[in-house]
Structure 1
Amino acid sequence: MKLFFLNVLAILLRYTNASASFQSRCLAFSPESTIFNSTLTAREYVTKGTNLTFPDNDKSCNQPFQVAAANLCRIALHVPTSNRSSITMELWLPEQWESGRVLAAGNGGIDGCIAYDDLAYGTEHGFATVAANNGHNGTSGKAFLNNPDVIIDYAYRSLHTSILQAKKLASLFYGQKYQKSYYIGCSLGGRQGIGAADRYPDDFDGIVAGSPASDFNHLYAWRASFYPITGKNTSADFINAAKWVVIHDEVLRQCDTLDGVKDGIIEDPSLCHFRPEALLCQSGQNTSQCLSSAQVEILNRIYNSPLYGTDGKLIYPAMQPGNELKASTGLYNGLAWPLSQDWYRYVLLNDSTWDASTFNISTAMLADQINPSNIRTFPTTLAPFASVGGKLITFHGGQDQQITSFQGARFYNNLARGMSVSSASLDEFYRFFRISGMFHCGSGPGAWVFGQAGAASAAGIPFEAENNVLAAIVDWVEKGKAPEGILGTKFVDDTVAKGVSFQRRHCRYPFRNTYVSGDAKEPGNWQCRGV
């Protein structure tokens, strides 16, 4: 027994001495001497469980604090990118560096908000993790006005700069060269990941790009188009949030059981051909439970009418059904979509007074004609990325309320045509997964927890390739094990402590998840079958 306690004491002493050494190394580290013209704004040793606060963070980012998930060295730097632009980047270096891995995290919307939850997520699993503010602070686009250098940072330079510096600084700090580099992001962050694979194929060995804002110019035009469609929230035929509940119920009535299971999830929205005419008001009917003919037309324009340009070419696919409850407070709320409005005001038109209600197809065409900083992100080939061994995983929620999930398949097929390859060939470096019942990047009635980001997106599941998409991309890059499916988890009331409600294995495109028999909550009772 005495020998046992002596061994435990020796282990504790070694751990204490190692932590003290790491702390000393952290506080002596001078990254600003390595990165030209940079300014060190924070350097601190942080122990696991510390509640970090960020008093200088723009309040619109809504990220006042973050709990550290590992012992780490926190570095924050101000790095100029031109004579009138710069980025703020944070590099979190974990005490236990796993296999020399570096991870970069993306942004969202048009914001300049550092993804602190992803910094914590990465360091929890041993990645030296970097995130940046994308060249401006906060969620507004005002910083873009008459400053193309800030737009360049937003389009690609912030991510490229931060990952290059992260690789350099991590190698210097740990005294050994980094081994593999990874990226994780969703929405705009998904676009950033695809953009990096296209523009800088050597930046990352593995990329997880969720619900990507691909074909970016057309996406922002498509989003802007909803305001003229729905009309202002004071107009006579405006569809309010209460009526969207009625519409959602009808969508489920028509489409929920197409997969053989009534569970509030439309497994494959491409099979759902929603007929809003079923809700047309009849004589004497309670109008709160039905639609006027004008409202039926609004729904047909949303669900059954993709957006086409004046040249007859597709701008963006139609919205998929199933998103109604979330979209009623967003794209369908009878107000200008703020992200599109800022993009047109401060980037495309340089007119801070532009009225979003004047949006039309000619305005939509303008966005792609200007294509600021080549932000389009709709490549027809990723051959250079594939040729250096890069691996890419994308996913898209089947009930996404901000980016139609049909764009995920459109992106995949556009790439397959451009590279003139079969799905089997594309699978060698790129796999796309449709996540049934997931809203934009997370949440929803489906099995949406699979490690696609920090916080709730990774809580309660093991860091293993079958359950976690970040672990899956690591296995693909380092072990050559490509993911056949993504096993998503749904917790009761989205609360880990309440236990697992069900799991579902999401298929890689173009396969479709198909119910076979038995308990639908068991993933083994579904199969991935060819379309």
Structure 2
Amino acid sequence: MRGTRSSVFPLLLAAGSAQAVTPEDCASFASRLSLPNTTIHETTFITAGTNISLPDNHPSCAIPFQISSVDICRVVFVTTTGPTSNISLEAWLPSEWSGRFLGTGNGGMNGCIKYGDLNYGATHQFATIGTNNGHDGTSGAPFLNNPGVIEDYVYRAVHLEAQLGKEIAQQYYGKEHTKSYYLGCSTGGRQGFKEAQSFPEDYDGIVAGAPAFDLIALMYWTGQLFLKTGTNETSRFLSPAEWELVYADILKQCDGLDGLEDGILEDPSLCQYRPEGLICADGSSDGCLTGEQAATVRAIFSPVYGLDGQYIFPRLQPGSNATARLLNGQPHQYPLDWWRYVVYNDTNWDLSTMTPEDYAVASKQDPWKVSTWEGDLSAAKDRGVKVLHYHGMQDNAISSDNSERYYNHVSRTMNLPSKELDEFYRYFRISGMAHCRDGTGASMIGGNPETFASYDPDANVLAAIVRWVEEGVAPSFILGSRLTASGEIDLQRKHCKYPTRNVFKGQGDPTKPDGWECV
């Protein structure tokens, strides 16, 4: 079975017939466009199939070009946010417009416009906008002694993209947008929740994947992983081959908890992994761990605590391969940059010295509430905003346990059970998905162009949020797919709405969704 492109265009066009514009409309747009504190660099008509060179994009963003799949008017501009801060933005305005607006997010600590997401939105007939998050490149160095740039990163860039993007669409097409949506993962997921928490008027529907919320705690946890593993010169360090032993042992102990041993943990929260079974017997040294290494493994799969036993961040969930990204014995850039350029303004600060006191200092600062951990979404609920939250159960950058933790935090704060949260906020656990994409399971759910398999609202989170907002049909599952190199579907699964989880029925084809049920 090949990955379907079954049309969701009837859904996408339900708000009204797509409005067509001409190349001449785009060419003259720069002279007509008026925005406060903003400089328009270009308005260029791009025909479908054009390879757009991006020579001004920061090299660390690693996006030298982007092919446009449809005819668009590309608007490139900069808006000034303060005496030492500004935001670079791009709007891609498709010639065939459904009337919908789409804001996109960023990743990591970076200031990189996600051009693939711009094209993804425009292809689906959204007027789509993205920003550089207030700085260029993947480093946090621009934060140094520059609170304006930090403010852009925390909330202002994504908030302004909503305001400016809607105004650009209105001026270009000559009419107001019908509905507005947001799509982001990782930092983009955090930005989506920042919008829901602080600016619910910006969007009617928000898709937030693998959110980097409780951000300061997340970065402290990431830094602590380095301190727990040590460098490759320490006796407690595990080599990649030794971590492979651990991953195989996790599957041996926990894979069958969902009713099927298929190499995928449907619900890692059920896995209470015990690494001590890998400790070498007397005289052995191959295919096993020392007691000290087993202690390292147990520390990695345990929560992080701070001063006076304060709970800071959950464990790395079992079932993901995080060796290259988190367990490589090297200081991670994000905590290093945050404490150097934001917390202490000290470029010589050394991550190897990180202590709970450092977390306490950073947590107290929490500039512009960058943690994004507000549990009260009442304003979003009252406005009718819909939030679709997802997280991969093989995430190798942000523990998926943190998404479960936030959902329950909202439930307690708002005094709402899941049945009532379902009216506006739903969380889906995506088994077999790594960080925002990839993984060994049915991770193709349409959260970004890299995870696109279908336009069907049952199988595409962007189409699902549109249907929920405009037709009132809330998603009860997300149908994920896994594709072979030739584009054939070899695995599909209906990912469950939390707090339910997938369990194999014990009969039927386990590669088909009907072999599983949410319990």
Under a length normalisation based on structure 1, what TM-score does the superposition of the two structures give? Answer: 0.93
Corresponding residue for residue 296 of structure 1: 294
Q: How does 1:498-517 map to 2 (within 5 A)?
A: 498-516=487-505, 517=507
Q: CA deviation at 1:237?
A: 2.6
Contact 1:112 1:137 in 2 (8 A): yes
Corresponding residue for residue 308 of structure 1: 305
Q: CA deviation at 1:364?
A: 1.7
Q: CA deviation at 1:499?
A: 0.4
Q: How does 1:252-271 map to 2 (within 5 A)?
A: 252-271=251-270
Corresponding residue for residue 491 of structure 1: 483
2 CA distance for matches of 1:152 and 1:143? 12
Corresponding residue for residue 451 of structure 2: 457
Structure with the larger RCO, 1 or 2 (CA within 8 Å, 6+ apart): 2
Corresponding residue for residue 281 of structure 2: 282
Q: How does 1:146-165 map to 2 (within 5 A)?
A: 146-165=145-164
2 CA distance for matches of 1:47 and 1:151? 36
Corresponding residue for residue 369 of structure 1: 364
Corresponding residue for residue 7 of structure 2: none
Q: 1:450 to 1:269 in 2, by over 3 A?
A: same
Question: What is the count of residue pairs matched by the alignment?
Answer: 500
1:490 corresponds to which letter in structure 2?
Answer: R
2 CA distance for matches of 1:288 and 1:249? 15
Compute the RMSD of aligned alpha carbons. 1.2
Contact 1:31 1:169 in 2 (8 A): no
Cα displacement string for residues 12-48 of structure 1 (whole angstroms, at most 9, x for unaligned residues): xxxxxx98x6100001002784112322223211111
Corresponding residue for residue 211 of structure 2: 212
Secondary structure of the structure 2 residue equivalent to 1:289:
coil
1 CA distance for matches of 2:31 and 2:401? 44
2 CA distance for matches of 1:276 and 1:395? 29
Q: CA deviation at 1:374?
A: 1.4
2 CA distance for matches of 1:33 and 1:118? 24
2 CA distance for matches of 1:431 and 1:262? 28
Q: Which runs of 4+ in 1 moved over 4 A?
A: none
Cα displacement string for residues 340-361 of structure 1 (whole angstroms, at most 9, x for unaligned residues): 1101110111111111011111
Q: Which of 390, 393, 399 matches 1:398? A: 393
Contact 2:305 2:313 in 1 (8 A): yes
1:505 corresponds to which letter in structure 2?
Answer: K
Corresponding residue for residue 9 of structure 1: none
1:500 corresponds to which letter in structure 2?
Answer: I
Contact 2:305 2:311 in 1 (8 A): yes
Corresponding residue for residue 10 of structure 2: none
Q: CA deviation at 1:232?
A: 1.2
Secondary structure of the structure 2 residue equivalent to 1:373:
helix
Cα displacement string for residues 124-149 of structure 1 (whole angstroms, at most 9, x for unaligned residues): 00000000000000000000000000
Secondary structure of the structure 1 residue equivalent to 2:88:
strand
**Does 1:106 find its partner at 2:105?**
yes
1 CA distance for matches of 2:274 and 2:132? 43
Secondary structure of the structure 2 residue equivalent to 1:330:
helix
2:72 corresponds to which letter in structure 1?
Answer: L
2 CA distance for matches of 1:411 and 1:311? 23
1 CA distance for matches of 2:487 and 2:464? 26
Contact 1:397 1:438 in 2 (8 A): yes
2 CA distance for matches of 1:74 and 1:260? 50
Corresponding residue for residue 44 of structure 1: 44
Cα displacement string for residues 482-515 of structure 1 (whole angstroms, at most 9, x for unaligned residues): 00000000012xx3x3400110000000011111
Contact 2:428 2:498 in 1 (8 A): yes
Q: CA deviation at 1:84?
A: 1.1
Contact 2:235 2:292 in 1 (8 A): no
1 CA distance for matches of 2:266 and 2:159? 36
Secondary structure of the structure 2 residue equivalent to 1:45:
strand
2 CA distance for matches of 1:250 and 1:130? 45
2 CA distance for matches of 1:323 and 1:451? 21
Q: CA deviation at 1:312?
A: 2.6
Q: Which of 355, 373, 377 matches 1:378? A: 373
Secondary structure of the structure 1 residue equivalent to 2:309:
coil
Q: How does 1:27-426 map to 2 (within 5 A)?
A: 27-30=27-30, 33-98=33-98, 100-285=99-284, 287-303=285-301, 305-324=302-321, 327-426=322-421
Corresponding residue for residue 8 of structure 2: none
Corresponding residue for residue 3 of structure 1: none
1 CA distance for matches of 2:473 and 2:286? 53
1:23 corresponds to which letter in structure 2?
Answer: P
Cα displacement string for residues 265-317 of structure 1 (whole angstroms, at most 9, x for unaligned residues): 011101111110010011122x24111111011111111x2111214331101
1 CA distance for matches of 2:330 and 2:286? 21
Give structure 2 stretches of 5+ with no counterpart: 1-18
Secondary structure of the structure 1 residue equivalent to 2:436:
coil
2 CA distance for matches of 1:433 and 1:501? 21
Q: Which of 469, 487, 490 matches 1:477? A: 469
2 CA distance for matches of 1:288 and 1:167? 61
2 CA distance for matches of 1:364 and 1:233? 25
1 CA distance for matches of 2:406 and 2:235? 38
2 CA distance for matches of 1:498 and 1:416? 40
Contact 2:237 2:296 in 1 (8 A): no
Q: 1:31 to 1:524 in 2, by over 3 A?
A: farther
Identity %: 44
1:193 corresponds to which letter in structure 2?
Answer: G
Cα displacement string for residues 372-428 of structure 1 (whole angstroms, at most 9, x for unaligned residues): 121111112100011011000111111111111111110000000000011001000
Secondary structure of the structure 1 residue equivalent to 2:97:
coil
Give structure 1 stretches of 5+ with no counterpart: 1-17
1 CA distance for matches of 2:390 and 2:425? 11
Secondary structure of the structure 2 residue equivalent to 1:225:
helix
Q: Which of 408, 428, 431 matches 2:426? A: 431
Contact 1:113 1:137 in 2 (8 A): yes
Q: How does 1:437-448 map to 2 (within 5 A)?
A: 437-448=432-443
1 CA distance for matches of 2:487 and 2:44? 36
2 CA distance for matches of 1:257 and 1:33? 59
Contact 2:33 2:171 in 1 (8 A): no
1 CA distance for matches of 2:132 and 2:154? 12
2:315 corresponds to which letter in structure 1?
Answer: A
Contact 1:32 1:40 in 2 (8 A): no
Segment drifting more, 373-382 vs 37-46: 37-46
1:524 corresponds to which letter in structure 2?
Answer: D
Under a length normalisation based on structure 2, what TM-score does the superposition of the two structures give? Answer: 0.95
2 CA distance for matches of 1:245 and 1:307? 23
1 CA distance for matches of 2:123 and 2:57? 23
Secondary structure of the structure 2 residue equivalent to 1:376:
coil
Contact 1:32 1:39 in 2 (8 A): no
2 CA distance for matches of 1:176 and 1:262? 54
